[in-house]
Structure 1
């Protein structure tokens, strides 16, 4: 299981993923995303249009799938929500999803993957405790069970990554949607890197880095420094550097740059994105505070160790 520090970072990442959908949940490692917003309440007021006679069969199916996805979300049946939104994505073919549709897809997958990630951390923590106690029989049982969860995680990640590759990324036309989907691609490769080992972990990390960098190139050129999607990308990218690549210096540099650039343009923020953007900025600052503290502690430990000669070593 992750340390408290890892959970903190994970929470930050999860929060962003739901934030895009009107601050609706707590992301990262919980099954519910966000900070709370009236989005779910709006669903009760959503109704299908009655003029289906004017729509083509594909338009009718698309709208029905979207509505069913909203029903599934309210019923907290997220696997079915994923199924409905996958049908929407495949229905649109070369046309890109609307903002509402892509957010519904993101929320569906975030809840499905979030539950398994939380389970994996809990089981991994129990496994470590049993190993420390020398309970080999229990450890063997736990490893098998953890393997089952990892298979589910792999299947979920492969599902959304395949959809991104075949439909969502190719059909994205606006800079905002391109960054959104490339960031999403990086996120799910990162989730694979969290539990994969050896060559598979290396490949997942490389794919994460490639996706995040591609998204970053577009975001820096096309999106305002205060744009919630650009800020969310910086947040998740910095967590990737810190937790997967074990590079706190790069993590801090990326997070600090994103925060500083956004704070300098804060007065240009529109009312519609102010809450989302400032929340992500707070998460960036929280991570910076934590990571800087960790670096300071490590530096202090290095100094202490350097001041003591190692046993068996002579003075130079």
Structure 2
């Protein structure tokens, strides 16, 4: 039965989330978008993000598994078996692309156009950067370059807006910094730039942590912990790479 109001859409989206039925969850959130003239509350935006994140998350995990099998087993198996592995990988890539293109169209044609400056606009441009990044991670050649450029443009715009409109400890700004840093690390293969961005965001937020509103303290702290963990990992990667290069030159 179709939801008859914005409130019903939100309630059923939560029920679908509890049941891990993310396709249905997304349809209910889209219903809320129609009933609200594309102006979503923080809770509704969170539901939208959760729905898309779960729909793409399982697919991206599956893609990584198949890509790993292809890399490790490719030289050992027959041509026919390798073709089967590649067919499976390409099938997952098409499924990921369908979901990414859906969210990107929703953002560009509806949500961004209706958004107010500040948190709402930053949130949507961050999402745009994220889903172009997902497409870039799976693509090759010119397609990868194109998606990477679109992702970078969205992240840059979101970050510029975040710096001018959101506090350093705001969860949306911190989440953007985290994902933008991941972009530099995973798409551009530049852990140095990832570290620079993440450390700047981390240090600025920690300096004013005592001013964080109680309503967002837990969210801000969680993202700060993720930033710290990634910083430790990336700094270790840089150190290990530099040591290998030094050994090669000695």
Normalising by structure 1, we get a TM-score of 0.76
1:82 is aligned to 26
Distance 2:90 2:244 in 1: 37
Distance 1:232 1:100 in 2: 16
Which structure carries more helix by proportion?
Answer: 2
Q: CA-to-partner distance for each residue in 1:219-262, whole Å, 9 max, x for gaps?
A: 10111101111011000000000110011111110001001101
Pick the structure with greater CA Rg: 1
How is 1:1-316 mapped onto 2 (pairs within 5 angstroms)?
60-93=4-37, 95-307=38-250
Contact 1:90 1:167 in 2 (8 A): no
Structure 1 residue 64, shift from structure 2 partner:
2.1
Contact 1:130 1:138 in 2 (8 A): no
Runs of 4+, deviation exceeding 3 Å = none
Contact 1:72 1:80 in 2 (8 A): yes
Normalising by structure 2, we get a TM-score of 0.95
The runs of 5 or more residues in structure 2 that have no matched partner are none
1:30 is aligned to none
Distance 1:249 1:126 in 2: 29
Contact 1:82 1:108 in 2 (8 A): yes
Distance 1:274 1:98 in 2: 19
Partner SS, residue 272 of structure 1: coil
Structure 1 residue 134, shift from structure 2 partner:
3.6
Q: Which has the higher contact order (CA 8 A, sep 6+)?
A: 1
Distance 2:23 2:168 in 1: 34
The runs of 5 or more residues in structure 1 that have no matched partner are 1-58, 308-316
Structure 1 residue 60, shift from structure 2 partner:
4.6
Q: CA-to-partner distance for each residue in 1:34-73, whole Å, 9 max, x for gaps?
A: xxxxxxxxxxxxxxxxxxxxxxxxx953222222212211
Partner SS, residue 210 of structure 2: helix
Q: CA-to-partner distance for each residue in 1:97-149, whole Å, 9 max, x for gaps?
A: 11111111111111111111111111111112221314322110011111111
